[in-house]
């Protein structure tokens, strides 16, 4: 690693540290909101797990998965969701406002990467606390499945890959807001895609599954890690996940550049 690269990483790390500090200071001023955010996420996590639990009271298998396998998959998806809620979700909601008000100008003028400053600006400390719940659930169901040491070692890495893939796709989609008068609706589209990805790939019929695996690979976010952990021979979805992350980052570079060309500052 060259000296300039290390310098660069340090530079961005210090910026991110400042972002986190300001977000913490802000959330401590609104303690009730902070608390409600934790409760809201917890209710969502519990209802997601409880729904699957209730389903398995009536059937022994869904697809080829038993209760523990399905709940482990849901826990992985909740861990990905928790990372998204903590590190990027708020910035996605702020993005259409930045475009509409023209405040994106100030970000473009800053001596830092604009994508980084736009989408990693806000952290939700309230959601950060819920890492305890999501990882407890993941570990609990992992123990039930008797995962081996290798699976435990790569589990955090796989969750982060899921997080990166989900957000690479969503960043590309969010660039469409540059061409819209009011882009908030795109955030609802993002949420719908998250909803689709929150269920294992085998529940969808062949045609839809192919589209959501090969063209818009949202089904790889949770299914690829879970399938690999259940069977190490099932590695192709995981490889596809790595390729998809690289592919969507390349696409992002172009869509972001095209979006900026289309962007008209609100005051101009």
Partner 1 sequence: MANWSLKWFQTMKVYWSNLFVYRTNFFLQTIGPLFVFLFIKLSLWTSIYLSSQKSIIGGYTLEEMLAYHLWIMVASMIILTSSSQNLSEDIRLGKISSYLIYPFSFWEFHASNFAARQTVQVFIALLTVFILLILLPTYFSNISFLFFIQGLILSLMAGFFWFSLNYIIGLMAFWLEETWTLTVLTQVVTYFCSGAIIPLELYPLWLKEALFYTPFPYLGFVPVRTFMGESLLFWQSVLVLLGWILLINLISKLIWKKGIHLYTAAGM
Buried b (16+ CB within 10 A) or exposed e, 241-261: beebbeebeeebeebbeebee
* 211: contact with partner 1 by CB under 8 A: no
Among 6, 132, 192, 253, binds partner 1 (CB under 8 A): 192
Q: Would you say 87 and 123 are in contact if contact means Cβ atoms under 8 Å apart?
A: yes
Q: Which is nearer to partner 1, 26 or 234 (CB)?
A: 26
d(CA 212, CA 214): 6
* 32: contact with partner 1 by CB under 8 A: yes
Considering only the stretches 7-15, 53-61, 104-112, 253-261, report the one whose residues sit in contact with partner 1 under the rule CB under 8 A. Answer: 53-61
d(CA 232, CA 224): 11
Among 9, 21, 55, 131, binds partner 1 (CB under 8 A): 55
* 60: contact with partner 1 by CB under 8 A: yes
Q: Which is nearer to partner 1, 158 or 173 (CB)?
A: 173
Considering only the stretches 38-46, 160-168, 213-221, 240-248, report the one whose residues sit in contact with partner 1 under the rule CB under 8 A. Answer: 38-46
Residue 249: what are its φ and ψ, rounded to 5°?
-70, -35
Give DSSP secondary structure letters for 15-70. Answer: HHHHHHHHHHHHHHHSHHHHHHHHHHHHHHHHHHHHHHHHHTTT-S-BTTB-HHHH
Considering only the stretches 114-122, 129-137, 166-174, 198-206, report the one whose residues sit in contact with partner 1 under the rule CB under 8 A. Answer: 198-206
* 206: contact with partner 1 by CB under 8 A: no
Q: Per-residue contact track with partner 1, 154 to 183, x per CB under 8 A?
A: --------------------------xxx-
Give DSSP secondary structure letters for 175-244. Answer: GGGGG-S-THHHHHHHHHHHHHHTS-GGGS-HHHHHIIIIIS-TTHHHHHHHHHHH-TT--HHHHHHHHH
Among 47, 206, 233, 267, binds partner 1 (CB under 8 A): 47
* 205: contact with partner 1 by CB under 8 A: yes
Q: Could you identify the residue written with the tokens 């996940």? A: 241
* 64: contact with partner 1 by CB under 8 A: yes
What are the residues binding partner 1 (CB under 8 A)?
30, 32-33, 36-37, 39-40, 43-44, 47, 50-51, 54-55, 57-64, 180-182, 184-186, 188-189, 191-192, 195-196, 199, 202-205, 208
């Amino acid at each position: 690693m060259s000296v300039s690269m290390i310098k660069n990483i340090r530079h961005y790390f210090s910026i991110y540290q400042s972002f986190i500090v300001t977000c913490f200071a802000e959330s401590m001023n609104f303690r009730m909101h902070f608390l409600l955010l934790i409760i809201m996420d917890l209710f969502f996590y519990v209802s997601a797990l409880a729904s699957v639990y209730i389903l398995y009271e009536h059937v022994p298998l869904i697809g080829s998965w038993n209760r523990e396998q399905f709940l482990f998959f849901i826990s992985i998806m909740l861990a990905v969701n928790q990372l998204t809620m903590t590190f990027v979700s708020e910035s996605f909601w702020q993005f259409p406002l930045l475009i509409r008000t023209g405040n994106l100008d100030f970000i473009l003028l800053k001596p830092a990467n604009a994508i980084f400053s736009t989408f990693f600006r806000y952290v939700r400390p309230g959601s950060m606390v819920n890492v305890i719940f999501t990882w407890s659930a993941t570990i609990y169901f992992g123990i039930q499945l008797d995962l081996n040491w290798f699976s435990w070692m790569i589990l955090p890495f796989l969750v982060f890959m899921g997080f990166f893939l989900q957000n690479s796709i969503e960043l590309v989609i969010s660039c469409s807001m540059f061409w819209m008068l009011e882009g908030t609706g795109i955030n609802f589209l993002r949420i719908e895609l998250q909803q689709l990805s929150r269920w294992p790939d085998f529940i969808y019929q062949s045609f839809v599954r192919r589209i959501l695996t090969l063209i818009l690979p949202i089904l790889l976010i949770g299914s690829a890690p879970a399938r690999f952990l259940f069977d190490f021979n099932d590695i192709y979805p995981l490889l596809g996940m790595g390729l998809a992350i690289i592919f969507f980052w390349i696409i992002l570079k172009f869509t972001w550049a095209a979006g900026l060309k289309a962007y008209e500052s609100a005051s101009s």
